[in-house]
Amino acid sequence: MVVMVASELFNAYDVLFVDMFGVIWDGVSWIADTVEALTSLVKGGKTVIILSNASISTAQMLKKYAPTGVGKGVQFSDFVTSGEVLAYVLQSGTLSFSTVQLPKSYILFGNQSCSSFHGTKYIHVNSIDEADFIYASIPQLYSEQKVLLPKELQNFLVVSNMRSEDELVWDSTSVEPFLGQLQEFASKKKPMLIANPDKFAFIGTSHSHDSKDYTPKLVVRQGCIGEAYTKLGGEVKFIGKPYPEVYRYALNAAAKLHGIHFDQLGGLKFAMIGDTLETDIFGAQNATSEFGIKIDGILVKSGIAGQDMFNVGVDFSAERAVREYCLARAITPDHVIDKLALDANVLF
């Protein structure tokens, strides 16, 4: 049963934290009506902070998406990424693991285009034996790595839209192609650092270099790698949603925008709009417990959770079915909406 439209729900809040991938961006383009909704919310005086598990800096994200016409001050008030929190940890030199107290060197897993460590004390090495820890970048393979995989594992791979002109980069719809390398790492008992706990992402991909089909597909991300590594007995340190530190950054950003101190934030009403129960909604619940500042969780069906409900046959328009789905995962949002749009239906 529809109880109201989303514009009425949004009006109840002073600050809206908004996830990016699956909520406003589908991996290829902005999701229909979201840009208009964000523009209207900011124009109407709402504080809108994009809170993303992207492992790159806020400055890099703003530069990357600026050509699409979406920008600070118009569609959002501020932008916080888990990569920004990672940069703080690395720059401060406070990174530690239970097995390695003062790590100095790291090896990159996945995409090798990583700038997060530039200007820090941590040294990049190419051998797992020389490394104190592993930094899990985006789980992708280059063509020279792809050809070394058995054919059955190559079948999981799709050409990423994150490639350069000179070199293809391959995403995967399964963690299977990465398990051999993870098993090697685990045998060396090396801890892993992850700055994007998301398990999956919709991204524009194709099954071949020549294909013009860039329909968004679901591919694995660092959260899947961390989960697999933990099952292999490895230690993993996560930065990003659902862990409280990234919410501390977002709350500090809100305080700055409102000209108040952190301890005065209790006078504002907050909500986290996300498409994933395990990161966005559970993260809001974690932050509420950690900081004593209530952050409501608003789940949208336009991304990960909505796709999973469809896959398992849940009727997203039926409140009881959606509540039972959430209850089975021990994470229940405060509200559920069709998508981030002013006229979207609010299920509860």
Please state the domain count of the chain: 2
- Enter the tokens of residue 188: 């060396």
In a shared domain, residues 249 and 233: no
- CATH code at 193? 3.40.50.1000
Over 80: is that where the pLDDT of 211 sits? Answer: no
Q: Residue holding tokens 């099954």?
A: 207
Domain of residue 333 covers 7-19+44-85+242-346
Comparison of pLDDT for 203 and 105, the residue scoring more: 105
In a shared domain, residues 197 and 258: no
| Mean pLDDT calculated for residue range 268-281 | 98
In a shared domain, residues 231 and 258: no
Kindly state whether residue 80 falls inside one of the protein's structural domains.
Answer: yes
Boundary residue ending a domain (190, 223, 238): 238
CA distance 175 to 219: 9
CA atoms within 13 A on the CB side of 25: 18
Kindly state whether residue 32 falls inside one of the protein's structural domains.
Answer: no
Boundary residue ending a domain (205, 238, 271): 238
The whole-model pTM stands at 0.90
pLDDT tens-place string over residues 293-320: 999 999 999 889 999 999 999 998 899 9
In a shared domain, residues 61 and 104: no
Kindly state whether residue 37 falls inside one of the protein's structural domains.
Answer: no
In a shared domain, residues 193 and 113: yes
pLDDT tens-place string over residues 12-51: 999 999 999 999 998 888 999 999 999 999 999 999 999 9
pLDDT tens-place string over residues 229-253: 999 999 999 999 999 999 999 999 9
Kindly state whether residue 25 falls inside one of the protein's structural domains.
Answer: no
Over 80: is that where the pLDDT of 161 sits? Answer: no
CA distance 268 to 254: 10
In a shared domain, residues 166 and 151: yes
pLDDT of residue 239: 96
Boundary residue ending a domain (213, 238, 263): 238
